[in-house]
């Protein structure tokens, strides 16, 4: 059994799996169930001084083939329940599960007094930390809150500083991905004194249009507005942003990774890219709290199999290898190689390379034979391997001597 | 036309649930130069029709199927798919091929239910083509000729169109209404289907040759030949095709008795056997035993393996290495069968002195089909000694402007006599007739 406990900027939890601030953390009833299932922490559904009013309907799913909810979009706002009620339930949860982390997500209007007041009210109950919701891309942003703050580095820094003035527990700043370069707001959070950042919140999105009624999806009495997109589909975007912050020296504070995490493998990837804890929303909305048992089990077995004593040891290990394009070795060369034994003759590799890559997969005249890669012309793009339905049927094999390194940067020293 | 809807118990083909349809359709890999399509005699673009199901474009899906195969709704039910498309699916590596036939049924069922208009006739060419026979081969040819703009008349001896699809294939495999829908699709393109008209009896071949620019012979095969043994004329002795036809049309086959003997080992014998099992059940004669008597070993039966398995599931019994010597008759009705054992090496040669008698109340003969030699002769169409019309790869006979396709052209050991092959040859014939009519104006 590896040690799964973590410490994110002073917030400790028995494992790195936290519920993201979202419907699964709406109420004490839910958070109690989540803790009973094994979740290490919960970021409470965003609180404000006054509850807001939500609309119906609110969500829509992105289905790809038979896979439901590859992504989801929502136009829900923050908590629609009174602050005192939430605070009472937080206290109950903390009393029942003192070892778990309860982080309270906050959002309020852009004044120092308002933020101080919210922090003060929330600290009347035992909380382990705050997460500032600068990310909500819809609704609240039209009121100058959420992503409207998160898109402006100066406001991020300013509000973070206000909160830090008042707070006695660690402060996490949750970043919006709806921005050109997330490092700027991450740096601003660090400058404002944040103890950690969490990312990503949801991406601006419109899920769809109904083909029969021509109404946007989801709609509220015939109309819709843009919403926030999350779930497995956003993982690559989130991972890139986490990596970008992790390798940026001017950010330099711990990261809680969020976005499309559905199982232990996703979690490991986020940790290798620099996340100390990971937060989950969509996967729980899809399958319920019980998935955390599989996340813990998978992570444990993964670490044990490698003889890694603590999960903290893997945090950020891939970050040094996440570099600029200019530093990639232009001499490195792999080619595709097809295993005729496991090939099932679907010809997907052939047509992909023929129509969309480099025309270097040949089909023998006899259709019972497997396609063959013309290694001399293969550029090693991986496309054939990606489309092949058989796991490990196409292998990318290194063919350069492996003893030279040439990069674009040294070729063109003028490139910054 | 009105046709009795007879089902004789639950259908063989399973209707996929909506969930299964989605899972199956999405499971298809959309292979390139797909092996399933290569294995389909009519070359239905399988990944295309399945992909269109997955995106909800059922009109496009049904059109893809029916474009390649004018009897694609029947084929969805009667094709031996494990020998064809499904047998070639790349998922056979995992022994879990896509259920192509069932998906094809889903799409064509949609077209039937929605009364979808899938095709239109081509601009008129002024040419006229006579098609003899409205089975799969004739319908396929007529459909393609009509789409090419030719005026087509089908001459059909039976009261309803469809050939064996309508009259010969057991209703729990293929309900007649499916075949009739396909015929209706062809009729809707302006093809005149003159039922109840037998060429050679009601219309002279010479008249057709004189009045039409081309003639297409798609007359299938004839009745089951006689065994030439004693007792064959007794009551209770049936030609398997007549038997199935009467049953499928809701007619009365009389009382089957306690023991039904089916002579033969092919698909027709299986159909007759399962049909009599189900009829007996319906006649509340659940104790009726049905036995197939075959002259060689079980492994030599020409019926498909899945057919034999199905017959076993239905409770049909098998007895191999025997031939009938005599049908025993009492009071003008079948009372039993005298059998001779055959050479255990499988030559089917009867062994003298091995006579034995089994009781039987009904005897159904399913030992192949005869050929319509007289009609071929009347057209002057060359045929082999067995009466199989001789055609080249364009389906042309030796007689100018006369083509032939389907069962009446299939050599034993060559192309399997099945619906999808008949349809494909009908298409080929139509394509070449069209070419002829466009390039050699009369
Ligand atoms: C019992 C049985 C079960 C079968 N089961 C299957 C199966 O499960 N799957 C499968 O793929 N195949 C099956 N087959 C084979 C399949 O039915 C045939 O291969 C197919 O129907 C051949 O089509 P066709 O158009 O050539 O001939 P047919 O379907 O026989 O059609 C010929 C038509 O021509 C008409 N005709 C004949 N003479 C004249 C004339 N002189 N004037 C006018 N009309 C005439 C006939 O009335 C008939 O309608 C089965 C066959 C039988 C007998
Ligand atoms: C319905 C819904 C409501 C959400 N509400 C909040 C919220 O109140 N505060 C917040 O910080 N994030 C909110 N989020 C964003 C999630 O916390 C999380 O950042 C995002 O869903 C990405 O993680 P995932 O891919 O695991 O879902 C919400 C997400 C969803 C789907
Ligand atoms: S790696 Fe790319 S270029 Fe090489 S064979 Fe595959 S698809 Fe073609
Ligand atoms: S994609 Fe894979 S399974 Fe399909 S033909 Fe290519 S190598 Fe074979
Ligand atoms: S072979 Fe199977 S998986 Fe491939 S296209 Fe055909 S049905 Fe689909």
Q: What is the pLDDT of residue B286?
A: 62
Judging contacts by C-beta atoms under 8 Å, the chain A residues touching residue B22 are 66
**DSSP per position, B137-194:** HHHHHHHHHHHTT-EEEEEESSSSSSTHHHHTS-TTTS-HHHHHHHHHHHHTTT-EEE
Judging contacts by C-beta atoms under 8 Å, the chain B residues touching residue A350 are 32
The Cα–Cα gap between B208 and B366 comes to: 34
Q: Which of A371, A374, A378 to mutate to test the pocket of ligand 4 (most atoms within 8 A of CB)?
A: A371
A300: tokens are 């444990």
Ligand 2 site residues (CB inside 6 A) read A 20-23, 45-46, 59, 72, 74, 76, 78, 105, 133, 135-136, 174, 201-202, 230-231, 234, 258-261, 280-283
Q: What is the pLDDT of residue A139?
A: 78
Judging contacts by C-beta atoms under 8 Å, the chain B residues touching residue A351 are 32-33
Strands A11-13 and B362-365: unpaired
The Cα–Cα gap between B34 and B41 comes to: 13
Of A280, A289, A351, residue with least CA distance to A17: A280
Mean pLDDT of B80-99: 95
Residue with tokens 């939430």: A86
With contact defined as beta carbons under 8 Å apart, do B98 and B28 qualify? yes
Omega before residue A21 within 30° of 0, cis: no
Contact: A346, B26; criterion CB under 8 Å = no
Q: What is the pLDDT of residue A393?
A: 97
Q: What is the pLDDT of residue A160?
A: 97
Q: Which of A354, A357, A360, A370 to mutate to test the pocket of ligand 4 (most atoms within 8 A of CB)?
A: A370
Residues paired with A6 in a beta bridge = A13
What residue's CA is closest to ligand 4, atom 6? A349
Strands B259-263 and B356-359: unpaired
The answer, for B32 touching chain A at a CB cutoff of 8 Å, is yes
Residue B285's pLDDT band, with cuts at 50, 70 and 90, is low
With contact defined as beta carbons under 8 Å apart, do A81 and A141 qualify? no
The Cα–Cα gap between A85 and A125 comes to: 12
With contact defined as beta carbons under 8 Å apart, do A236 and A91 qualify? no
Q: Give me Rg for the CA atoms of chain B.
A: 22
Residue B5 has pLDDT above 80, yes or no: no
The gap between the terminal CA atoms of chain A, to the nearest Å, is 46
**Per-residue pLDDT tens for A210-259?**
999 999 999 999 999 999 999 999 999 999 999 999 999 999 999 999 99
Q: What is the pLDDT of residue B441?
A: 60
Identify which of A135-144, A145-154, B5-14, B316-325 has the greatest average pLDDT.
B316-325
With contact defined as beta carbons under 8 Å apart, do B329 and B337 qualify? no
Dihedral angle, C-alpha A377, A383, A389, A395, nearest 10 °? 50
Q: What is the pLDDT of residue B442?
A: 56
Of A230, A179, A196, A201, residue with least CA distance to A315: A196
Q: What is the pLDDT of residue A145?
A: 82
Q: What is the pLDDT of residue B316?
A: 96
The Cα–Cα gap between B65 and B58 comes to: 11
Residue of A344, A365, A388, A392 to mutate, testing the B interface (most B Cβ within 10 Å of its Cβ): A344
Q: List the catalytic residues of A.
A: 136
**Per-residue pLDDT tens for A130-159?**
999 998 777 777 888 878 889 999 999 999
Mean pLDDT of B251-263: 92
Per-residue b/e over A296-314, b at no fewer than 16 CB within 10 Å? beebbebbeeeeeeebbeb
Q: What is the pLDDT of residue B50?
A: 98
Residue A413's contacts (CB-CB under 8 Å, 6 or more residues apart) are none
What residue's CA is closest to ligand 3, atom 3? A378
CA separation, residue B40 to residues A304, A369, B30, B267 (Å):
52, 20, 16, 20
The answer, for B91 touching chain A at a CB cutoff of 8 Å, is yes
Residue B282's pLDDT band, with cuts at 50, 70 and 90, is confident
With contact defined as beta carbons under 8 Å apart, do A13 and A277 qualify? yes
Judging contacts by C-beta atoms under 8 Å, the chain B residues touching residue A387 are none
The Cα–Cα gap between A262 and A275 comes to: 15
| DSSP-based three-state secondary structure for B225 | coil
Of B158, B243, B173, residue with least CA distance to B7: B173
**Per-residue pLDDT tens for B31-41?**
999 999 999 99
Contact: B33, A367; criterion CB under 8 Å = yes
For residue B140, report the distance from its CA to the centre of ligand 5, in Å: 25
Strands B362-365 and B356-359: unpaired
Interhelix angle A264-272/A291-305, rounded to 10 degrees, is 60
Contact: B31, A348; criterion CB under 8 Å = yes
**DSSP per position, B50-114:** HHHHHTT-HHHHHHHHHHH-TTHHHHHHHS-TTTTHHHH-GGGGGT----HHHHHHHHHHHHHHH
Q: Which of B89, B95, B103 to mutate to test the pocket of ligand 5 (most atoms within 8 A of CB)?
A: B89
Residue B54 near ligand 5, beta carbon < 6 Å: no
Contact: A347, B91; criterion CB under 8 Å = no
Kind and range of the H or E element at B211?
A: helix B205-211
What residue's CA is closest to ligand 2, atom 30? A22
Q: Which ligand ends up closest to the CA of B89?
A: 5
Residue A350's contacts (CB-CB under 8 Å, 6 or more residues apart) are A361, A363, A371, B32
With contact defined as beta carbons under 8 Å apart, do B46 and B315 qualify? no
The Cα–Cα gap between B249 and B192 comes to: 24
Of B38, B16, B31, B186, residue with least CA distance to B101: B16
Q: Across the interface, which of B23, B38, B90 has its CB nearest the CB of A344? A: B90
Q: What is the pLDDT of residue B168?
A: 96
Of B69, B71, B384, B419, residue with least CA distance to B405: B419
Distance of CA A282 to the CA centre of its chain: 11
Residues paired with B323 in a beta bridge = B340
The Cα–Cα gap between B31 and A189 comes to: 50
Q: What is the pLDDT along chain A (416 residues), one digit of tens a residue?
A: 899 999 999 999 999 999 999 999 999 999 999 999 999 999 999 999 998 899 999 999 999 998 999 999 999 999 999 999 999 999 999 999 999 999 999 999 999 999 999 999 999 999 999 999 998 777 777 888 878 889 999 999 999 999 999 999 999 999 999 999 999 999 999 999 999 999 999 999 999 999 999 999 999 999 999 999 999 999 999 999 999 999 999 999 999 999 999 999 999 999 999 999 999 999 999 999 999 999 999 999 999 999 999 999 999 999 999 999 999 999 999 999 999 999 999 999 999 999 999 999 999 999 999 999 999 999 999 999 999 999 999 999 999 999 999 999 998 766 55
Average pLDDT, chain B: 95
Q: What is the pLDDT of residue B440?
A: 76
**Per-residue pLDDT tens for B205-222?**
999 999 999 999 999 999
Mean pLDDT of B39-58: 97
Q: Give the single-character DSSP code of B342.
A: B
Dihedral angle, C-alpha A72, A77, A80, A82, nearest 10 °? 130
Interhelix angle B305-313/B267-282, rounded to 10 degrees, is 20
For residue B426, report the distance from its CA to the centre of ligand 5, in Å: 26
Q: What is the pLDDT of residue A414?
A: 66
ipTM score: 0.84
What residue's CA is closest to ligand 4, atom 1? A388
The Cα–Cα gap between A413 and A327 comes to: 12
Distance of CA B217 to the CA centre of its chain: 16
Q: Which ligand ends up closest to the CA of B75?
A: 1
Chain B window 390-429: which residues touch A at a Cβ cutoff of 8 Å?
A: none
Q: Across the interface, which of A66, A348, A367 has its CB nearest the CB of B35? A: A367
The Cα–Cα gap between A221 and B293 comes to: 71
Contact: A389, B29; criterion CB under 8 Å = yes
| Model confidence, pTM | 0.91
B1: tokens are 């036309």
With contact defined as beta carbons under 8 Å apart, do B88 and B68 qualify? no
CA separation, residue B422 to residues B41, B412, B425 (Å):
9, 14, 5
Distance of CA B171 to the CA centre of its chain: 12
Q: What is the pLDDT of residue B52?
A: 96
Distance of CA B360 to the CA centre of its chain: 28
With contact defined as beta carbons under 8 Å apart, do A123 and A167 qualify? yes
């Amino acid at each position: 059994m590896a040690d799964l406990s973590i410490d994110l900027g002073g917030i400790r939890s028995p494992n790195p799996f936290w519920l993201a601030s979202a419907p699964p953390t709406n109420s004490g009833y839910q958070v109690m169930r989540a803790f009973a299932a094994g979740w290490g922490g919960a970021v409470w559904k965003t609180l404000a001084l006054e509850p807001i009013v939500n609309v119906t309907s609110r969500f829509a799913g992105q289905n790809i083939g038979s896979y439901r909810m590859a992504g989801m979009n929502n136009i829900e706002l923050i908590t629609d329940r009174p602050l005192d009620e939430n605070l009472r339930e937080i206290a109950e949860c903390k009393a029942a599960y003192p070892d778990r982390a309860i982080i309270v997500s906050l959002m309020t209007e852009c004044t120092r007094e308002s933020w101080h007041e919210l922090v003060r009210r929330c600290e009347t109950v035992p909380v382990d930390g705050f997460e500032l919701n600068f990310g909500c891309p819809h609704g609240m942003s039209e009121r100058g809150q959420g992503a409207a703050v998160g898109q402006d580095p100066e406001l991020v820094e300013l509000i973070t500083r206000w909160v830090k003035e008042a707070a006695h527990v660690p402060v996490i700043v949750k970043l919006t991905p709806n921005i050109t370069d997330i490092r700027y707001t991450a740096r601003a959070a660090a400058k404002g004194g944040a103890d950690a950042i969490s990312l990503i919140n949801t991406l601006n999105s419109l899920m769809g249009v109904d083909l029969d009624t021509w109404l946007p999806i989801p709609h509220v009495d015939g109309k819709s507005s843009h919403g926030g997109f999350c779930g497995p589909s956003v993982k690559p975007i989130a991972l890139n942003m986490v990596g970008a912050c992790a390798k940026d020296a001017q950010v330099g504070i711990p990261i809680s990774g969020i976005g499309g995490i559905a199982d232990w493998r996703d979690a490991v990837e986020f940790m290798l890219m620099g996340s100390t804890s990971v937060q989950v929303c969509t996967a729980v909305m899809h399958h319920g709290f019980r998935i955390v048992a599989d996340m813990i089990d998978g992570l444990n077995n993964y670490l044990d199999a490698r003889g890694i004593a603590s999960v903290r040891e893997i945090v950020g290990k891939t970050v040094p290898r996440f570099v600029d394009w200019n530093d990639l070795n232009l001499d490195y060369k792999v080619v595709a190689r097809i295993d005729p034994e496991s090939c099932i003759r679907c010809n997907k590799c052939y047509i992909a390379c023929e129509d969309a890559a480099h025309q270097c997969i040949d089909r023998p005249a006899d259709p019972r034979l497997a396609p063959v890669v013309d290694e001399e012309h293969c550029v090693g793009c991986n496309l054939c391997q990606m489309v092949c339905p058989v796991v490990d049927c196409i292998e990318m094999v290194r063919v350069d001597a492996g003893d030279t390194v040439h990069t674009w940067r040294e070729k063109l020293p003028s490139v910054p | 036309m009105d046709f009795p809807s007879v089902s004789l118990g639950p259908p063989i083909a399973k209707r996929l649930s909506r969930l299964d349809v989605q899972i199956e359709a999405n499971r298809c890999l959309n292979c390139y130069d797909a092996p399933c399509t290569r294995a389909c005699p009519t070359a239905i673009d399988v990944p295309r029709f399945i992909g269109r199901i997955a995106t909800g474009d059922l009109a496009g899906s049904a059109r893809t199927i029916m474009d390649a195969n004018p009897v694609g709704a029947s084929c969805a039910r009667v094709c031996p798919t494990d020998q064809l498309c499904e047998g070639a699916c790349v998922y056979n590596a995992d022994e879990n091929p896509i259920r192509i036939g069932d998906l094809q049924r889903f799409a064509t069922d949609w077209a039937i239910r929605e009364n979808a208009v899938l095709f239109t006739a081509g601009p008129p060419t002024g040419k006229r083509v006579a098609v003899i026979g409205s089975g799969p081969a004739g319908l396929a040819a007529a459909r393609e000729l009509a789409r090419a703009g030719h005026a087509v008349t089908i001459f059909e001896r039976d009261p309803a169109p469809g050939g064996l699809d309508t009259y010969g294939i057991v209703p729990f495999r293929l309900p007649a209404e499916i075949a009739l829908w396909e015929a209706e699709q062809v009729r809707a393109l302006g093809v005149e289907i003159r039922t109840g008209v037998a060429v050679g009896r009601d219309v002279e071949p010479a008249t057709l040759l004189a009045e039409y620019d081309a003639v297409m012979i798609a007359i299938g095969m004839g009745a089951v030949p006689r065994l030439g043994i004693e007792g064959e004329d007794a009551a209770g002795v049936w030609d398997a095709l007549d038997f199935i036809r009467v049953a499928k049309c809701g007619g009365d086959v009389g009382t089957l008795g306690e023991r039904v003997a089916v002579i033969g080992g092919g698909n027709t014998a299986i159909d007759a056997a399962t049909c009599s099992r189900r009829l007996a059940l319906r006649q509340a004669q659940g104790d009726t035993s049905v036995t197939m008597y075959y002259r060689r070993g079980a492994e030599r039966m020409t019926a498909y393996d899945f057919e034999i398995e199905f017959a076993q599931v239905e409770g049909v019994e098998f007895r191999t290495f025997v031939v009938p010597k005599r049908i025993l008759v009492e009071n003008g009705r079948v009372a039993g069968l005298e059998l001779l054992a055959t050479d255990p090496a499988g030559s089917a040669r009867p062994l003298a002195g091995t006579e034995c008698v089994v009781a039987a109340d009904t005897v159904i003969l399913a030992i192949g089909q005869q050929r319509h030699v007289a009609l071929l002769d009347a057209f002057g169409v060359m045929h082999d000694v067995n009466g199989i019309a001789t055609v080249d790869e364009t389906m042309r006979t030796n007689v100018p402007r006369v083509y032939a396709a389907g069962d009446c052209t299939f050599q034993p050991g060559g192309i399997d006599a099945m619906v999808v092959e008949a349809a494909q040859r009908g298409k080929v014939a139509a394509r070449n007739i069209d070419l002829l009519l466009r390039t050699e104006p009369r």
